[in-house]
Amino acid sequence: MKKQLTLISIALSGLVLTACSNQKSAQKTVWDKIESRGVLKVATPGTYQPTSYYNDKNKLVGYEVDMMKEIGKRLNVKVKFVETGFDQAFTTVDNGQVDLSLNNFDITAKREKKYNISTPYKYGIGGMIVRADGSSHMTKKDLSDWKGKKAGGAAGTEYMKVAKKQGAELVTYDNVTGDVYLNDVANGRIDFIPNDYPAQKLFVDYMKSKNPKINVKMSSVKYNPTKQGIIMSKKDDSLKKKIDKEIKAMKKDGSLAKISKKYYAGQDLTKSFAKDKSVPVINTKNVE
């Protein structure tokens, strides 16, 4: 009888230990799992200069790429980049394929409801590329002349939502390189490209240095100051807290501004454009 009680006691102890072990495993945070494997998986487009692109040596570089490498170094984990298009950038977070996603994403109330988003790592402002010969006919500062014009961009971006709100016809592209967009503006397939002004200006200047006769230019019209953040799952806040801490530290010590100036021709995009009250703000809250 005593032997039977002893066996039952051992069995019950085993169940308790198993339950405790399972409970500890279940309590592991998102960051605990990343730290345990020593790898931070990051979604990035690889086609968007100057935030994420391949240089002449076929090396993945850019503002977001260099920033994440520095964050990984500070967190003592390796960064593994997973190349995705804009439309896949959110689903890869949803299905756990990556831990976080970067693609120059604007911080919006709608996105904040579904995802954890980091403190801003970059600030921008809306701009547009038009034809240099003036045939796009888009000069009004209030954007009232966007109606009926063809806007080119990736589906679902905030800039394309602004275009839709202003009555433009949307021409969507998959994960293509910037020269495809520029050539389509130049040849009249589309009338303009709404996107982030600092990045667009840099790219237009570069393309015109290669081909001075290309029929495109950067419009002086600006709209919708923005702030960009890193997309993460809402499973818990552990990863967000780690990322936010490092972004704030990099802002404070100047290392983030240094990366910005490297890729944006001396521009420090760690400071907000929102102080200019003359810039129009188009509300895209109800635009799908």
255-282 pLDDT per residue, tens: 999 999 999 999 999 999 887 778 999 9
For 86-133, write each residue's pLDDT tens digit: 889 999 999 999 999 999 898 988 899 999 999 999 999 999 999 999
What is the CATH T-level fold of the domain 30-121+229-264, as seen in this structure? D-Maltodextrin-Binding Protein; domain 2 (3.40.190)
Question: Per the structure block, which two tokens stand in for 154?
Answer: 């990736």
Query: Cα–Cα distances in Å, from 32 out to 21, 37, 38, 96, 242?
Result: 15, 9, 10, 15, 11
Look up the CATH superfamily of 124-225: Periplasmic binding protein-like II (3.40.190.10)
**Domain boundaries along the sequence of the chain:** 30-121+229-264, 124-225
List the structure tokens of 14.
């085993």
What pTM was estimated for this model as a whole?
A: 0.73
Nearest to 158 by CA among 125, 136, 117, 188: 125
